Amino acid sequence: MLTRIDHIGIACHDLDATVEFYRATYGFEVFHTEVNEEQGVREAMLRINGTDDGGASYLQLLEPVREDSTVAKWLAKNGEGVHHIAFGTADVDTEASDIRDKGVRVLYEEPRRGSMGSRITFLHPKDCHGVLTELVTSAAVESAEH
């Protein structure tokens, strides 16, 4: 079951300037930052309401760290903006497998490491009406389940 919108990924050229825009305009503060080398991004997670029990959702601001990264490629073609949406689930493996059985291309054979220790996979945007879609099981949910 997909239980919530975990985050919305937003591609930007300058992470620090974009973080400052969200702080000054909406009052959103940075909850977490990291570099994900495998994905080729530097990111800032801005937490939006919710609670500590996993109910929060996030804006994920993404700046490419490599010219050959997927986000750099996307920015060059589209400019800044919404890059993907991510649905939260307690079981990314089962969810990905069920969706694959429906004929949607799941991009990874096995889930990979995402933000804040989560496990993630992606669905091809061409199979999702133009929306790059991520499935994510957060680290908190992972440790509660196992």
Active-site residue set: 7, 43, 60, 84, 134
Out of 36, 56, 139, 142, point to the residue binding ligand MC0 (CB under 6 A).
36
Please count the residues of this chain forming the interface with ligand MC0, following the rule CB under 6 A. 26
Interface pick for ligand MC0 out of 18, 46, 84, 96 (rule CB under 6 A): 84
CA gap 134, 114 in Å, rounded: 10
| Residue closer to ligand MC0, measured from CB, 33 or 94 | 33
DSSP string, 75-123: HHHH-SEEEEEEEEES-HHHHHHHHHHTTPPBS-SS-EE-GGG-EEEEE
2: left (phi over 0), alpha (psi -120 to 50) or beta: beta
Using rule CB under 6 A, residue 73 touches ligand MC0 = yes
Stretch of 19-27, 46-54, 93-101, 124-132 lying at the interface with ligand MC0 (CB under 6 A): 124-132
Nearest Cα residue to 79 out of 129, 10, 134, 9: 10
End-to-end, the C-alpha distance of the chain in Å comes to: 17
Q: Residue 114, interface with ligand MC0 (CB under 6 A)?
A: yes
Single-letter amino acid, residue 29: E
Q: Summarize as ranges the residues that interact with ligand MC0 (CB under 6 A).
A: 9, 36, 39, 41, 43, 60, 62, 70-71, 73-74, 83-84, 86, 107, 114-115, 118, 120, 122, 124-126, 130, 132, 134
